[in-house]
Amino acid sequence: MNDFGDRLKLVIDYYRMNKNSFSKFIGYDENTSITNYVNKKRIPNFAMLSKIILSCDSINAEWLIIGKGEMLKRSERSVELEVDFYKRESERLKIDNDRLLTIIENLTSDKKSAQPQECA
């Protein structure tokens, strides 16, 4: 996704709007500029980029402008939830590991006790 127009079209689709409603959403009365950007006839100036970025707070500005990274920002809350999930998962895996080690020890000791003793 190398073109600004393609990325802008994805943003408009993400917000479930058309070019006209998106233009109004960012503070313009007509969609001529947005249409020109989507159709790759013009590139946006700083003022237009600022309006889009400030209006679309979940969109990653770096992705929109240069195509680097993911379309959506990762919120601090989603990062916290992800960290909590991995902490809980790590604890669960430690418990499972301890249980498996106990089972292996029991199987090993059962196998040793089940072997016939050699007669002298």
Spell 107-116 as b/e; 16+ CB within 10 A means b: eeeeeeeeee
Q: Which of 51, 57, 61, 64 is nearest to 24 (CA)?
A: 51
Give the count of domains, the chain. 2
Does residue 91 lie within any of the structural domains?
Answer: yes
Tell me, yes or no, whether 31 and 59 share the same domain.
yes
Of all residues in the chain, the percent with pLDDT exceeding 70 is: 90
Average confidence (pLDDT) over 33-48: 92
pLDDT in tens, 82-109: 777 788 889 889 999 999 999 999 998 8
Does residue 102 lie within any of the structural domains?
Answer: yes
DSSP conformation letters of 46-69: HHHHHHHHHH-TTB-HHHHHH--S
Tell me, yes or no, whether 97 and 62 share the same domain.
no
pLDDT of residue 113: 75
Q: How far apart, in whole angstroms, are the C-alpha atoms of residue 110 and residue 113?
A: 5
Residue 117 has pLDDT above 70, yes or no: no
**How is residue 67 written in tokens?**
């195509």
Domain that holds residue 56: 4-66
Q: What is the CATH number of the domain that holds 20?
A: 1.10.260.40
Q: Confirm if 38 and 62 have CB atoms less than 8 A apart.
A: no
Tell me, yes or no, whether 52 and 102 share the same domain.
no
Distance of CA 68 to the CA centre of its chain: 14
Length of the chain: 120
Tell me, yes or no, whether 58 and 103 share the same domain.
no
Residue 52 has pLDDT above 60, yes or no: yes
